[in-house]
Amino acid sequence: MYLAAKFCTVTNNSLQKDKISILAVSGSLRSGSSNEAVITTAATLVAGEVDVIIYRGLGSLPHFDGSELPPSEVAGFRRLLMEADGVLICSPEYAFGVPGSLKNALDWTVSTGEFAGKPVALITAATGGDKAHASLRLTLTALSAHVVEDATLLIPFVRSKMNATNEISDGATIQAIKNIMDTFIQTIKDQN
């Protein structure tokens, strides 16, 4: 199984629909990454309000090849996207761009429409991040995603906002994450 069911129940790679569900995707494959810390913080801040499902399968997705019959890992990812009420993406910046594993996952949805009209919150947490943030917004536009303008956040110098146990510890950053999650949840409610 390629999911962490830390904040909700996941059965057979399907979401339980008793409340709003948000699929959270970290663009970093590294365990203990700052992006994982941001997603964990976001999920913790709204844990009582919504179900946050942290997707941990980016590294297991095969390279995009445009096949009409996708591998099971891709089919599972697509299903989770379709079932989620919204998607939270947190990405680092590598070489002024989006990490290849995240771009690969998004490429698998180009012709199938899982992001079409789907509310998306976007956080870029990196040393700089502005170029990856802009690139990711452009890709999501191509996918017809509904990037919620007030649910986007750039966290520069993210490592300076973390403590020794790899948690977001900067109060202003925590509040900014809470603000965008509140806005994101309200947008999802208004859309449903």
Coil, strand or helix at 156? strand
| Residue 17: pLDDT over 70 | no
Residue 191 lies in a domain: no
Domain containing 126 equals 3-8+21-58+72-173
State the CATH number of the domain containing residue 45.
3.40.50.360
Q: Per-residue confidence at 75, pLDDT binned at 50, 70, 90?
A: very high
Structural domain contains residue 64: no
Inside any domain, residue 67: no
Query: Is residue 29 domain-resident?
Result: yes
Q: Is residue 102 part of a domain?
A: yes
**Residue 187 forms part of a structural domain:** no
- Asked whether residue 143 is domain-assigned, the answer is yes
Tell me how far apart the alpha carbons of residues 64 and 71 are, in angstroms, rounded to a whole number.
Answer: 10
Question: Where are the extended beta strands (E) located within the chain?
Answer: 3-4, 10-11, 14-15, 21-26, 51-55, 86-91, 119-126, 146-156
Number of domains forming the structure of the chain: 1
Domain presence at residue 133: yes
pLDDT recorded at residue 192 = 81
Q: What is the value of pTM for the model shown?
A: 0.90
